[in-house]
Amino acid sequence: MSKSLIVYFSHNKENYFSGNIVNLEKGNVQVIAETLSTMIDADVYQIKEVDAYPFDYHECTSRASEELKNNARPQILDPLESIDEYDTIYLGYPNWWSTMQRLL
C-alpha cells in the first residue's frame, strides 16, 4: 500500500487574503493541506521555522524579501528524521513573489 505525506509551510498571522490584509487563525496553505490530507488519507507535517516570522504582514514580507535576496535558509524547528516510508510527498507553501520560501 502506498503512503503519502503532505509537507507544508503556512503563515497564519496577518496575511493577504481576498484583496485585504487580515489576521488568519489558519494560514491559506494550512487550510489546503488539511483539506487535502482528508481527501487522500495522507500524513501531514507542518514546517515551522526556529525564528518565527513576524506577526505583522509587512514586517513578515520584508524579512522574507531579504532572505530571498540573500539566499538564506532559515533553520527548521523539529525537522523530520526521515521521509523514506513515503511513496508520494506533496509540498505546499505560500507564493511570495512568485517563488517558494527558502526553508527547504
Domain presence at residue 99? no
- Structural domain tally of the chain? 1
Domain presence at residue 32? yes
Burial of residue 99, with CB atoms counted within 10 A of its CB: 0-12 exposed, 13-18 middle, 19 or more buried: exposed
Instruction: Extract the residue ranges of the chain whose pLDDT is less than 70.
Output: 96-104
30: CATH: 3.40.50.360
The three cell numbers locating residue 55: 506577526
Domain presence at residue 102? no
Residue 28: give the domain boundaries. Answer: 4-92
Domain presence at residue 100? no
Domain presence at residue 30? yes
**Closest to 6 in 3D by CA, of 91, 104, 93:** 91
Domain presence at residue 19? yes
Can you give the pTM of this predicted structure? 0.82
Neighbours of 92 (CB within 10 A): 21
- pLDDT tens-place string over residues 40-60: 999 999 999 999 999 998 998
The Cα–Cα gap between 45 and 80 comes to 8
